[in-house]
Chains A and B, each alone.
Chain A
Amino acid sequence: MYRSHVLVCGGTGCTSSGSERIIAALEHEIQENGLTEEIKVIKTGCFGLCALGPIMIVYPEGAFYSMVKPEDIPEIVSEHLLKGRIVTRLLYQETVQEDTVKSLNHTQFYAKQKRVALKNCGVIDPENINEYIGLNGYMALGKVLTEMTPEQVIQTIKDSGLRGRGGGGFPTGTKWSFAAAQPAGQKYVCCNADEGDPGAFMDRSVLEGDPHVVLEAMAIAGYAIGANQGYIYVRAEYPIAVKRLEIAIGQARENGLLGKDILGTGFDFDIELRLGAGAFVCGEETALMTSIEGRRGEPRPRPPFPAVKGLFERPTVLNNVETYANIPQIILNGADWFASMGTEKSKGTKVFALGGKINNTGLVEVPMGTTLREIVEEIGGGIPNGKKFKAAQTGGPSGGCIPASLIDIPVDYDNLISIGSMMGSGGLIVMDEDTCMVDIAKFFLEFTVDESCGKCTPCRIGTKRLLEILDKITKGKGTLEDLDKMEELCYHIKANSLCGLGQSAPNPVLSTLKYFRDEYVAHIVDKKCPAGVCKALLNFTIDPEKCRGCTLCARACPADAISGSVKQPHVIDPAKCLKCGACMEKCKFGAIYKK
């Protein structure tokens, strides 16, 4: 028995900000102080509040230390762990209370969250199967194998109202029932862990923080549809996830929870990993399976749907990581429990990766139907530097921009579709008034142009032509006719493309055209970028009234574009100016403007 547990986040964010060094320092100090028998250090998955990393929590007090540096560790060990005095200065400020620490669950970031898929993330050691089992892990698998028929399993998932968390939102139970209805024979269960939206890391966090939940859910799916082989298609760029999955699969096999005759019930199920090379299109289900088959990862026409003819032309169920992460709890807690969360047609919770211009960058899980305002302003802690919220992009490059006027919309599958965006896998990028919406559309389109597989005409050529028009507009060379041409092309690409990538690629353009048309017009007619982002439309000028002639700007200019004598107002030569903004940063008198 240990008297104290120290949980250090080993997720990707905190690992990047140095949590490995924190752990090393902790272990060193604990040894120096002779506490190895009393204190246990556990490396967990993501806590969610990535902006505050590296993060650690000391139990039983529940002291939440944020932005910990290795040099803080001796103090934490000697003060908190040895003497029982919490180091208040290192606590996450919101948890500081006079006599004790406030529970994390009562902080603004966590209060409105409901952790289902992320239940174990940041709680258990993902490399130790016993910790997963200790929190009812593999109990759901035991339950379905010993107490439920495959039909009952599928009915439970249907009743729960769970919809696919990977993008389309197809009802999971229905999908399983299609595969189950196929004649018996070789069938497969696949897991889509090829999360590729820029800025999204929900699935990554589940894999890193709670890998066994995916394995357990896949085995349940295998039992439900009559498959005995599973594949997890995971990006090679997720090395920690890959490693923890490998460890988890090994431990599950050792414990008889994967492999032959699971739990003595006669049910066989095993899982193998397949590493993807990072093509975004391989997140599309048919492309993913084509890639597993060892061929060029490209989508193929549907029907036939994977449930009928999927991997190696056999009936296949494919769900993404977050979808699977909900399964064991639905089995254990019942369909009604799950269906009690969320909205009428979107049940349960959804994990979002909050990013962009927001204070609490990180991972949040909220009941479906939570409003965008709650997510951004309360959980996300609002926009930094007192700037104004302008828009949020959901669904990554396939989604659309939601303007400030729609910030009170309850977030669920159908609402997002109705306003021209989509749930996608759960990326949520917040933009403030300094964001140019034309530039944002261009950014996302650059991504899809780059990631188009090149198979079908509208996506291969059409998206490129869209990007060229956008580029023209950001350079001030667009015409109003271009807007019509672009809109027409957007609808064409949506209606004609072979797969979801092309069918949704125009969404960022269409949604910005719909909600921010005035910005496009400003670029075209006034030759101005209202947010001051599009370089070609910017002009830097020095206000002679304010300029003191300190020469700092001239010295900072990499292009020798600024001239003027000492103590005399300086001038920028627009022909030479690179519009890098270095002068503006240097000016101490606020004399330089961009417009």
Chain B
Amino acid sequence: MEMVNIKINGMPLSVPAGSTILEAARQHGIEIPTLCYLREINEIGACRICVVEVVGMRNLVAACVYPVAEGMEILTNSKRVFASRKTNLELILSTHNRSCLSCVRSGNCELQKLCKDFRIYDETLYDGEKPASDYDDSAVHMVRDNSKCVLCRRCAAACAKWQDVAVIGPNGRGFNTHIGTAFNQNLSDVACVSCGQCIVVCPTGALSEKDNTKDVWRALSDPTKHVIVQTAPSIRVTLGEAFGMHIGTNVEGKMVAALRRLGFDGVYDTDFAADMTIVEEANELVERIKNGGKLPMITSCSPGWVKYCEHYYPEFTENLSSCKSPQQMFGALAKTWYAEKTGIDPKDIFVVGIMPCTAKKFETKREDESASGYPDVDVSLTTRELARMIERAGMYLPKLPDEEFDAPLGTSTGAGVIFGATGGVMEAALRTAKEWITGESGETVEFQEVRGTEGIKEASYQIGDLKLNVCVASGLKNAKKVLESVKSGEKEYHFIEIMGCPGGCVNGGGQPVQQAAVRNFIDLKARRAAALYENDKNKPIRKSHENPVVKEVYETYLGSYGSHKAHEILHTSYKKRNRF
């Protein structure tokens, strides 16, 4: 690697040519604060918080985008630098809604941290006219409050560059610049897929999930309700972050304890429903291959992806597996099989989902998602909302004991757990499909080819007489690439797994927010996924079709895989949605 010699704050350093001042400084332990910078997708030098002095240059430069050069002398902590950053913060504050005390991001707000670090003691110094700001709570899944927006554009970058959706971006110009949709329509009226990636990259409280915790508190205090909760596979490896624990810590037992202490009547695991999904979906795949059904079959677990497909690629909705997502399968079975088994009227059962996802909120409101006649799932909360409930209830998660899920809906396999990472559904399905097709119970359950955080993965497996071509994509920009390659005939797959968020659910739009200072340098999705695979490895049962409760449900209630009753309860339908 070609190196150049520079000086930072007088220290002579050798750094790779072509790196930015920010990267070069970081390599030598000097952190330069940033606000708008999001590695790879938002390197725009807009906020001017990372400004540094380069000796000999008249103006300050933005460290996040300015490349180093041989002999460059950089000052990152000079009086002029500090004063500049401070003034930029004061200017931002003059347009900011400073109701910080009750802000959803209080304590985890990047602007707040910067203001503290730079000792902004007069928040009102540059107060003047505030830009007109809109408050948009039209969408089911999130709220946009532009009065807290700092115009870093990280949301717009995530929407456009990760998801290729681009429904929000800068409108207007100058002082009137604001983030909005085309023609400032309501978010609910545009082709937003509800993925929530904009929220997890937002440095402030301008973007947040729609808070549904009060509905859950109300249900919990209603003695007529049997309130049960299910937690998605990835929650156990991310919830700890909201309590300052290391990224990738598995807190399954503590999470169960917390939920039980919140007063849920049953603490269950969506992993069980994931196992259900696998057997039903693997059966659907085998049927499609055998009977000349629509191929490639594409997974339907990710509601962000499903909505994307309906808006942008309606010609592929027939390729979607008709299986409901695990969240919905859980709710459907809770209000049918479980209701029957426990003798509780389904109208009194209140199902709460704890999901890594904001699109799951939208999913609960979809048509054809009420097997019992009542909505399969009543409320879907994000990991962040659960963390807030635990905090409000006065519990400190790291100190809670480890407890186990309740029976019967808490019984799951390793296959269910890995649903939370990109490639996990594919691997789980392969574990089952392979055995079903070959009729042999294999020892190897790991399919390494479909693991990893790359956006698009491909593999071929010889299963009996069939050479099964599969593809795994995560992040909708990658989904688009895969769909286009299928459309053009360039690629032929039998089965495709698509997750709406890059890296799958572990990096979902409902997960705890990690500030850019962490996000820019640590691959969250890899660390969180590693914890899931570790969990899978230690499970006694690692194949969905071997889950004893799954077997029981089919034997005692549904009949066979893909039976008429299974279709009524576990399958759903899709529709074309407008793009404009």
A is bound by B: yes
Residues of A within 8 A of B (CB): 279, 281, 296, 300-301, 303, 449-458, 460-465, 468, 489, 492, 494-498, 503
Q: Of A296, A456, A489, which contacts B47 at CB under 8 A? A: A456
Residues of chain B in range 39-53 having any CB-CB distance to chain A below 8 Å: 44-49, 51
The answer to whether A454 touches B59 (Cβ under 8 A) is no
Q: Can you list 10 pairs linking A and B with CB atoms under 8 Å apart? A: A301-B62, A301-B65, A303-B66, A454-B170, A455-B44, A458-B87, A460-B151, A461-B91, A489-B87, A495-B58
Q: A492-B84, A495-B60 are in contact. Are A456 and B128 (CB under 8 A)?
A: no
Nearest CB on B from A231, distance (A): 23
Which residues of chain B are within 8 angstroms of A300 by Cβ–Cβ distance? Answer: 44-45
Q: How far is the CA of A489 from the CA of B90 in the complex (A)?
A: 11
Total number of residue pairs linking A and B with CB closer than 8 Å: 101
- For B46, list chain A residues within 8 Å (CB): 455-457, 498
Which of A456, A461, A489 has the most B CB atoms < 10 Å from its CB? A461
CB of B535 closer than 8 Å to a CB of A:
no
A464 x B44 contact (CB < 8 A): no
Chain B residues whose CB sits within 8 angstroms of the CB of A454 once the complex forms: 151, 170, 172-177
Contact of B45 among A301, A451, A460, A464 (CB under 8 A): A301
A449, A453, A492 interface centre (most CB from chain B within 10 Å): A492
Is B17 part of the contact surface with A, judged by Cβ < 8 Å?
Answer: no
Chain B contact residue count (CB 8 A cutoff): 35
How near does chain A come to B13, taking the closest CB pair, in angstroms?
20
Assess whether A453 is in contact with B62, with CB atoms less than 8 Å apart.
no
Cross-chain contact B177 with A460 (CB below 8 angstroms): yes
Chain B, residues 174-186, CB within 8 Å of chain A (1/0): the string is 1111000000000
Asked if B249 lies at the interface with its beta carbon under 8 angstroms from chain A, I say no
C-alpha spacing A461/B67, complex, angstroms: 27
Assuming the contacts A450-B174, A453-B174, asked whether A496 and B45 have C-beta atoms less than 8 A apart, the reply is: no
Given contacts A456-B46, A495-B60, 13 further A-B contacts (CB under 8 A): A301-B44, A452-B175, A456-B45, A456-B48, A457-B49, A458-B88, A460-B174, A464-B129, A492-B83, A495-B58, A495-B80, A496-B88, A498-B62
B92 interface neighbour in A281, A303, A461, A503, Cβ under 8 Å:
A461
CB-defined contacts of B59 to chain A, threshold 8 Å: 494-497, 503
Most buried by A among B51, B66, B84, B126: B126
Is B94 in contact with chain A by the CB < 8 A criterion? yes
For window 76-94 of B, CB contacts with A under 8 Å fall at: 80, 83-84, 87-88, 91-92, 94
Please, how many angstroms separate the alpha-carbon atoms of A458 and B51 in the complex?
12
Instruction: Judge if B234 is at the interface, Cβ distance under 8 Å.
Output: no
A303 to B80 alpha-carbon distance, docked (Å): 22
Contact across chains for A296 and B170 when beta carbons are under 8 A apart:
yes
Please indicate which of the listed interface residues B87, B92, B174, B176 has the most CB atoms of chain A within 10 Å of its own CB.
B174
Given A465-B94, A494-B59, A498-B62: A457 and B177 within 8 A (CB)?
no
Q: Which residues of A contact B327 (CB under 8 A)?
A: none
Contact A279–B173 (Cβ < 8 Å): yes
CA of A492 to CA of B95, assembled, Å: 18
- Establish whether residues A498 and B175, one from each chain, have CB atoms under 8 Å apart when the complex forms: no
**CB atoms of A464 and B128 under 8 A apart:** yes
In the complex, the answer to whether A495 meets B84 with C-beta atoms within 8 Å is yes
**Which residue of chain A has the shortest Cβ distance to B62 in the bound complex?**
A301
Evaluate contact between A461 and B84: CB separation under 8 angstroms.
no
Q: Contact between A461 and B177 (Cβ–Cβ < 8 Å)?
A: no
CB distance from A438 to the nearest CB of B (A): 18
Residues of B within 8 A of A279 (CB): 173
Residues of B125-174 at the interface with A, using a CB-CB cut-off of 8 Å, are: 126, 128-129, 151, 169-170, 172-174
User: What distance in Å separates the Cβ of A170 from its nearest Cβ neighbour in chain B?
Assistant: 15
Residue of B48, B83, B88 most packed against chain A (CB within 10 A) = B48
Q: Which residues from chain B contact A453 at a C-beta distance below 8 Å? A: 173-174, 177
Residues of A within 8 A of B169 (CB): 296
* Assembled-state Cα–Cα distance A452/B46 (Å): 13
Q: Which residue of B lies closest to A300 (CB)?
A: B44
Residues on A with beta carbons closer than 8 Å to the beta carbon of B151: 454, 457, 460
- Cβ–Cβ < 8 Å partners of B175 in chain A: 449, 452, 454, 460-461, 463-464
* Chain A nearest CB, measured from B210 CB (Å): 28
Q: Which residue of B lies closest to A465 (CB)?
A: B126
Bound complex: CA A453 to CA B171 (Å) = 10
Contact A457 B91 (CB under 8 A): yes
Chain B contacts with A in 517-536, Cβ cutoff 8 A:
none
Residues of B within 8 A of A460 (CB): 151, 174-175, 177
Q: B62 — which chain A residues lie within 8 A by C-beta? A: 301, 498
In the complex, what residues of A have CB within 8 A of residue B67's CB? Answer: 303
- B contact residues around A492 at 8 Å (CB): 83-84, 87
The chain A residue with its CB closest to the CB of B58 is A495
Contact between A468 and B128, CB atoms less than 8 A apart = yes
Once the chains bind, are B48 and A458 in contact (CB under 8 Å)? yes
> Would you give the shortest CB distance from B71 to chain A, in whole angstroms?
16
Q: In the bound complex, how far is the Cα of B60 from the Cα of A503, in angstroms?
A: 11
Residue B88 contacts which of A301, A457, A468 (CB distance < 8 angstroms)? A457
User: Min CB distance, A313 to chain B, in Å?
Assistant: 14
CB closest residue in chain A, given B153: A455
8 A Cβ contacts from B361-378 to A: none
Q: Are A465 and B128 in contact (CB under 8 A)?
A: yes
Q: How far is the CA of A492 from the CA of B59 in the complex (A)?
A: 9
Q: Which A-B residue pairs are the 8 nearest by beta carbons?
A: A454-B177, A452-B174, A301-B45, A461-B91, A301-B65, A464-B175, A468-B128, A454-B173
| Cβ–Cβ contact A498 & B48, under 8 A | yes
Q: CB-CB < 8 A to B129: which residues of A?
A: 464, 468
Q: A301-B45, A468-B128 are in contact. Are A457 and B174 (CB under 8 A)?
A: no
Give B221-233 as 1s and 0s: 1 = Cβ < 8 Å from A's Cβ atoms: 0000000000000
Closest A residue to B57 by CB, please name it. A495
Q: Is A496 a contact partner of B174 (Cβ separation < 8 A)?
A: no
- CB-defined contacts of A281 to chain B, threshold 8 Å: 173
Distance between Cα atoms of A489 and B177 in the complex (Å): 21
Distance (whole angstroms) from the CB of B531 to the closest CB of chain A: 38
What CA separation (Å) do A450 and B51 show in the bound complex?
25
**B45 & A461 in contact (Cβ 8 Å cutoff):** no
Distance between Cα atoms of A565 and B48 in the complex (Å): 65
Cα separation A464 to B80 with both chains bound (whole Å) = 22
Query: Are the CB atoms of A465 and B174 closer together than 8 Å?
Result: no
In Å, the complex CA distance between A468 and B127 comes to 10
Measured between C-beta atoms, what is the minimum distance from A467 to chain B in Å? 9
Contacts of A498 in B (CB 8 A): 45-46, 48, 62
- Are A496 and B47 interface neighbours, CB within 8 A? no
List of A residues within 8 angstroms of B80 by Cβ: 495
| B44 contact set on A, CB distance < 8 A | 300-301, 455
Residue among A296, A458, A468 facing the most chain B CB atoms (10 A cut-off): A458
CB distance from B400 to the nearest CB of A (A): 43
Q: Contact at B48–A457, with CB atoms within 8 Å?
A: yes
Given A451-B174, A452-B175, A489-B87, residue A457 in contact with residue B92 (CB < 8 A): yes
| Residues of chain A within 8 A of B177, CB atoms compared | 453-455, 460
Question: Chain A's nearest CB lies how many Å from the CB of B33?
Answer: 14
Chain A contacts for B87, CB-based, 8 A: 458, 462, 489, 492, 496
User: For chain B residues 463-522, which have a beta carbon within 8 Å of chain A?
Assistant: none
Residue-wise interface mask of B (21-63) relative to A, using a CB-CB cutoff of 8 A (1 in contact, 0 not): 0000000000000000000000011111101000000111010
Q: How far is the CB of B119 from chain A (nearest CB, A)?
A: 17
The complex places the Cα of A296 from the Cα of B46 at a distance, in Å, of: 15
Q: Which residues of B contact A494 (CB under 8 A)?
A: 59
Residues of chain B lying within 8 A (CB to CB) of residue A462: 87, 91
Taking CB atoms, residues of chain A closer than 8 Å to B126 are 461, 465, 489
